[in-house]
Amino acid sequence: MEDTRIRKFAHFLINETVYLKKGEKILIELHGHAYRLAKSLVQEAYKVGGQPFIHVFDYGLEGALVAGADDAHMADVTSYELTRMKDMDAYIDIRATDNIHAWNDISDTQLAVYNKNYWGPLHLRQRCNHTKWTVLRYPNDAMAQLAGMSTDEYEDFYFKACLLDYEKMGKAMENIVKRMDHTDEVRITGPGTDIRFSIRDIPSHGMHGNKNIPDGEIYTAPVRNSVNGVISYNVSSPYNGFLFKDVKFEFKDGKIIKATSNNTELLNKILDTDEGARYVGEFAIGVNPVIMTPMEDILFDEKIAGSFHFTPGNCYDDSSNGNHSAVHWDLINIQRADFGGGNMYFDGELIRKDGLFVVDDLKALNPENLL
């Protein structure tokens, strides 16, 4: 991989995504082997007068810890990292696994211990809501294999998707944010899907290079008890190492009352993690024009042009519907015609058909206008 592209990317992450300022502390975490990018991030942090901190994980060692921990020990492990996280102004996590199934041999029980005592309090509640953060994959052989590309081909795709004209995207998002902030009822229809919910009085945010990378989504949350109907997700989705397919939920008054998939038993165990896991914490619309097909990686798939995600679990504080959980699972549906089509309505008005915006003030978000 070219050092110039890595350095340009690091400069963007430090200066644009987490906009690090002089004197601010930043925690740079590395899961796997991406040392050149991590080194460039440290150097760019120093350039702006920041104070970088480093934490390197090994998936195998971390997995061994998770596999043997009980609730009390996992909470103790978290307490050390939580103290450090609370001291940080910014956070960048580089995920560079060589094998997305590395934790497949960890039991469902132990993964629940991890999610409840570690991931929930450290990341969903503290990091996501109280630091300037970004999370990204690293373009390695494993990611290229997921995308069905050569490594060189994938690197080109990766940087194109990650380094879009985010200023242009941000301007194009302004009208949909205004619309969503004045919308009460959303209805979404498509194959196996007919769902209604309210987003009234819950803030919306256009993400254009200022959270996880690649970016390109507009998110809010449904009013917690307002969701009714059925939704079928047509994108396979990994969770704790298992690849879920054909996920379908039935909602009544906000709660998932029926859930099926290629592993219905495991799916329901996840949804039974805590009370909030059966309610939805995020509704978001994907608009990244470079990402058009799924690659079984949520950070990319949730940004697919013509998609939306409807997320069981924890909400974000800046779009809060009061739902809290150790789960936050961005499950995705693509509504473009080549994936079966579908419609999206705001207060009865058709605003997107088969993945394309059809009202004049939102057409700037269609792929041909964002490239």
Residue 104 has pLDDT above 90, yes or no: no
Sign of the dihedral through C-alpha 213, 214, 216, 221: negative
Is the Cβ–Cβ distance between 53 and 88 less than 8 Å?
yes
Express each pLDDT in 13-41 by its tens digit: 999 999 999 999 999 999 988 999 999 99
pLDDT of residue 98: 85
Residue 359 has pLDDT above 70, yes or no: yes
What mean pLDDT do residues 107-112 have?
91
Sign of the dihedral through C-alpha 269, 274, 279, 284: negative
pLDDT of residue 101: 80
Residues 6+ apart with CB under 8 A from 193: 229, 230, 231, 232, 333, 342
What mean pLDDT do residues 298-305 have?
96
Answer with the residue of higher pLDDT: 3 or 94.
94
- State how far the Cα of 24 lies from the Cα of 49, in Å rounded to an integer: 8
Sign of the dihedral through C-alpha 251, 259, 305, 18: positive
User: 3-class DSSP state for residue 364?
Assistant: helix
Which residues lie across from 90 on neighbouring strands? 26, 132
Express each pLDDT in 211-220 by its tens digit: 889 999 999 9
Q: Confidence class of residue 100 from pLDDT cuts 50, 70 and 90?
A: confident
Indicate the pTM of the whole model.
0.91
- State how far the Cα of 75 lies from the Cα of 84, in Å rounded to an integer: 14
Q: Confidence class of residue 203 from pLDDT cuts 50, 70 and 90?
A: very high
Which fold does the domain 3-162 belong to in CATH?
Thermophilic metalloprotease-like (3.40.1830)
Q: Confidence class of residue 298 from pLDDT cuts 50, 70 and 90?
A: very high
Express each pLDDT in 175-201 by its tens digit: 999 999 999 999 999 999 999 999 999
The residue whose two tokens read 């409807």 is: 310
Cα within 13 Å of Cα(258), Cβ side: 8
- Strand pairing category for 228-232 and 237-239: unpaired
pLDDT of residue 179: 98
What mean pLDDT do residues 247-270 have?
97
Order of strands, sheet of 90-96, starting from the edge strand that comes earlier in the sequence:
51-57, 25-32, 90-96, 132-137
- Strand pairing category for 280-286 and 307-312: antiparallel
pLDDT of residue 2: 64
Residue 235 has pLDDT above 80, yes or no: yes
pLDDT of residue 37: 96
Which tokens sit at 270?
């996840």
What mean pLDDT do residues 41-49 have?
98
- State how far the Cα of 260 lies from the Cα of 249, in Å rounded to an integer: 7
The residue whose two tokens read 């901190």 is: 53
The residue whose two tokens read 């109280």 is: 130
> CA of 178: how far to CAs of 39, 166, 202, 203, 237, in Å?
40, 18, 12, 10, 30
pLDDT of residue 97: 86
Alpha helix positions (H), 163-304: 166-181, 264-271, 298-301
pLDDT of residue 47: 98
pLDDT of residue 309: 98
Q: Confidence class of residue 146 from pLDDT cuts 50, 70 and 90?
A: confident
Residues 6+ apart with CB under 8 A from 69: 77, 110, 113, 114, 117
Express each pLDDT in 316-345 by its tens digit: 999 999 999 999 999 999 999 999 999 999
Domain extents for the chain? Answer: 3-162, 166-370
Q: What is the DSSP letter of 173?
A: H
Residue 208 has pLDDT above 90, yes or no: yes
Q: What is the length of the chain? A: 371
Answer with the residue of higher pLDDT: 103 or 92.
92
**Percent over 70 (pLDDT), the chain:** 99
Q: Confidence class of residue 3 from pLDDT cuts 50, 70 and 90?
A: confident
Q: Which of 37-51, 103-117, 315-329, 348-362 has the lowest mean pLDDT?
A: 103-117
Q: What is the largest CA-CA distance in the chain?
A: 56
Which tokens sit at 230?
């059925």
What are the backbone angles phi and psi of residue 15, rounded to the nearest 5°? Answer: -90, -30
pLDDT of residue 1: 62
Q: Confidence class of residue 116 from pLDDT cuts 50, 70 and 90?
A: very high
Which residues lie across from 7 on neighbouring strands? none
Q: What is the DSSP letter of 101?
A: T
